[in-house]
Structure 1
Amino acid sequence: MQAHAKSLNERFRTLISLIFGLAIGCSLLFGESRWETSPLIEESLMLLACFMAGIGAFGRIWCSLYIAGYKNNVLVTDGPYSMCRNPLYFFSFVGGIGVSCATETFTIPLLTALAFGIYYPSVIRKEQERLLTLFGDAYRNYCRNVPTFIPSLSRLKPPPAAYSVNPATFTHNIVDALWFIWFIGIFEFISGLHEAGMLPVWFLIP
């Protein structure tokens, strides 16, 4: 196996995340938030959803700007990668929780956090093993100085004056990031179908 070969978890993480989001959407087809009659809770959750999904989408695009065309070829330590070693996963987590809050429930955000906590540590561990093989001591030194997951704002480096990016890879990554926003729209559309009586409500989700 080549040193840069990805594990199955790494290669299919975007697809798995998309499937998880669609599963949530399917549960909302016949289920509705029990907080529909509590406007303060409902609107607070939607505000939090938009805020966190926006951070998640921006963060993923920011990360993609620095790694588009460089991943597995160069050890990227600038931009968001100067704050933590896995900023792409951190922003995915923030965005994922945000999208889950758009369901206007507490159960689905908790399930999303639990699923992330079960699935992504193994992805991060496998990726670290691959990067250690690729970059050796340079990556070891990077690991000693930069946190794994939670960003450290004090470590953020000033942006370089110029930076070369692979446009095709960057564009593809932008589309991946926009799913956070699109899912919120999908969930709101489903909620509207319930309110219009076009979809039945079989159960309430706390």
Structure 2
Amino acid sequence: MKLPPPAMRDFVGRATMTLYFTVCATLKAATTVAGVSNSDWTVRWLVEIGANIAALGFMMLVVVTTVARLPPLKTAQGIEPRISALIGCLATVTLIAVPRVQVAPKLEIVADLITILGFVLCIWCLWRLGRSFSILAQARRLVTTGPYQFVRHPLYACEAIVLLGVILRNPTWSTVVVGAIVVAFQYRRIVNEERVLGAAFPEYEAYRRRIPMLVPSLSPVPGWRDEPSPPEVEAPR
């Protein structure tokens, strides 16, 4: 069976993800409006509304960057990178279906604050990534500035912070298992993306050697201030 041309596949993928995140953003907006109308004006309420607004902002930015993204220069081949990308991206949504358990009000506030921090950092990463954002392992541009000067995959790291907040908000075995699945497939996405980026951009290997994958280094990378910044080329996530 002959596959559609790359441009058509990219269009279909972009349209699908735009529709999906538009629906998610609409539902989140409805939840936020309903929450605002129930104005308790407590610290717990304010933090929860803040978490909803941060999540809504991230989803809206995903829609914008997906619509405006550049055509890919290179895409990971095979079925595994596609499955890993979809599961890593969408598995978190299944946490909505997990029954909620009662937790202490202070833990709820802490969990929501962690979620807010994660989403705010995600927005920073995604804003910097801009038109290079994608779900699949693809190479468009390679950005090495902003959060990408500290770690190679800051968006994944920040999404992990959001996931931690979600699990703390509903600490059950189901959420922990789903969280472990998300982390495992996100790691596979990183591996696939680094392979694609290395093949698309010769300068990526030097960048990979200098910059940590997910956790910023506490000490400056030797010589990083003395090296000229490479042209703005950018990792998908």
- Whether TM-score is above 0.5 comes out as yes
Q: What stretches of structure 1 of length at least 5 have no aligned partner?
A: 158-206
Equivalence map 1:130-149=2 (5 Å): 130-136=196-202, 138-149=203-214
Equivalence map 1:1-150=2 (5 Å): 4-6=74-76, 16=87, 19-28=90-99, 32-33=100-101, 36=102, 42-70=104-132, 72-103=139-170, 105-136=171-202, 138-150=203-215
**Secondary structure at the counterpart of residue 163 of structure 2:** helix
The answer to whether the 8 Å contact 1:97/1:109 transfers is no
Q: What is the one-letter code of the residue matched to 1:115?
A: I
Higher mean C-alpha displacement, 114-123 vs 76-85? 114-123
Question: CA separation of 1:19/1:70 partners in 2, compared to 1, >3 Å: closer, same or farther?
Answer: closer
Q: What is the one-letter code of the residue matched to 1:127?
A: E
Q: What is the one-letter code of the residue matched to 2:152?
A: R
The 2-side partners of 1:18 and 1:130 are apart by 18
For CA contacts below 8 A with separation 6 or more, give which structure has more relative contact order: 1
Over aligned residue pairs, what C-alpha RMSD do you find?
3.3
The 1-side partners of 2:199 and 2:178 are apart by 31
The 1-side partners of 2:197 and 2:118 are apart by 24
* Residue 46 (structure 1) shift: 1.0
Q: What is the one-letter code of the residue matched to 2:144?
A: T
Higher mean C-alpha displacement, 123-132 vs 54-63? 54-63
The answer to whether the 8 Å contact 2:122/2:159 transfers is yes
* Residue 102 (structure 1) shift: 1.9
The 2-side partners of 1:86 and 1:51 are apart by 22
**Secondary structure at the counterpart of residue 152 of structure 1:** coil
For 1:147-169, what per-residue CA distance to the aligned partner results, in whole angstroms no more than 9, with x for missing partners? 01112366699xxxxxxxxxxxx
Q: What is the one-letter code of the residue matched to 2:160?
A: F
Q: Identity of counterpart residues, as a percentage?
A: 23
* Residue 15 (structure 1) shift: 5.3
**Secondary structure at the counterpart of residue 69 of structure 1:** helix
TM-score scaled to structure 2, two decimals?
0.52
Q: What stretches of structure 2 of length at least 5 have no aligned partner?
A: 1-5, 7-71, 134-138, 225-237
**Secondary structure at the counterpart of residue 65 of structure 1:** helix
Q: What is the one-letter code of the residue matched to 1:135?
A: F
The 2-side partners of 1:113 and 1:95 are apart by 11
The answer to whether the 8 Å contact 2:73/2:140 transfers is no
The 1-side partners of 2:109 and 2:217 are apart by 25
